[in-house]
Amino acid sequence: MSDHTLEVAGLSAWYGEAKVLTDVDLRVEPGEVVTLVGRNGAGKTTLLRSVMGLHRQVEGTVTWGGNDLGKASADKRARSGIGWVPDDRGIYATLTVAENLLLPPVVSKADAWSLEQVYEQFPVLHERRDFPGTKLSGGEQQMLAIARVLRMGSTLLLLDEPSEGLAPVIVQRIGEIIRQIKAQGVSVLLVEQNVAFASTVADRHYLLAQGRVVESLDNESFQSRTTELLEYLGM
């Protein structure tokens, strides 16, 4: 696997005149799991979308594997190994599980999971392989969305609230999957409002408030300050 450090420096973002991110610096090392935590409207999704190249009204730099991504399109970023798992999961409703998995291109042969590997790690997707997207539960859709980018060979996963709306037992399973992905050397940057879940999967955390990174914490400090942080974040 090639070097795949993500480095965001001085990133600001706007919607029209409204500035929603200010001078964000962050880093995700290969194989690290890093969360963005903050209350609603803090700018977490905009930050993920800016890294993916989906939000374009930005200033600052995003460097990936040593290359400044500049104005590269989302498609080009995906081809360079950044995998996007949106909050609505982006499953094609009329396609089957297998078709959803096989539709996107393999971007790195060396890193791509084979279909067999995907089915081995996600047995439920194997069971449901001929089901259309519409017939999947929220948890199954989340697993499919994650499996799809792993099959592409993405080496950094951008996950937007993977735990949202899922039953605790499914959230636990998603946590296991994230730890498994990490063990394979893939990095994960995830938006998470569920602080308890975040602390079971992440190495480090960035707290976002009103579009700024207000703290950067390792997981140990994060765990020891959970109550205070929840209060501060108004969560």
Q: Around Cβ 199, how many Cβ atoms within 10 Å?
A: 17
Q: Which stretch binds ligand ATP (CB under 6 A): 44-52, 59-67, 96-104, 226-234?
A: 44-52
User: 2, 3, 10, 15: which one contacts ligand ATP (CB under 6 A)?
Assistant: 15
Return contacts of 225-230, CB within 8 angstroms, 24+ apart.
Answer: 226/195, 226/196, 226/199, 229/37, 229/195, 230/195
CB 215 → ligand ATP: shortest distance, Å? 15
Q: What is the arrangement of strands in the sheet containing 18-28, beginning at the earlier edge strand?
A: 18-28, 6-15, 58-64, 67-68
Q: Where are the alpha helices (DSSP H) in 158-194?
A: 168-183
Nearer to ligand ATP among residue 13 and residue 147 (C-beta): 13
According to the binding rule CB under 6 A, does residue 41 interact with ligand ATP?
yes
Spatial separation of the C-alpha atoms in residues 232 and 235, rounded to whole Å: 8
Which of the residues 115 through 174 are near ligand ATP (CB under 6 A)? Answer: none
Least distance (Å) between residue 43 CB and ligand ATP: 4
Task: Tell whether residue 40 is a contact of ligand ATP (CB under 6 A).
Answer: yes
Is residue 234 near ligand ATP by the rule CB under 6 A? no
Mark 45-84 with x for binding to ligand ATP (rule: CB under 6 A) and - for no binding: xx--------------------------------------
Q: Cα–Cα distance between 99 and 191 in angstroms, integer?
A: 27
Q: Cβ 33 to ligand ATP, closest distance in Å?
A: 18
Phi, psi dihedrals of residue 68, rounded to the nearest 5°: -70, 120
Among 24, 26, 44, 177, indicate the residue that binds ligand ATP (CB under 6 A).
44
In DSSP terms, 206 is beta-bridged to 36, 216
Task: Supply the Cα-derived Rg of the chain in whole angstroms.
Answer: 17
Q: Which residues bind ligand ATP (CB under 6 A)?
A: 15, 18, 20, 38, 40-46
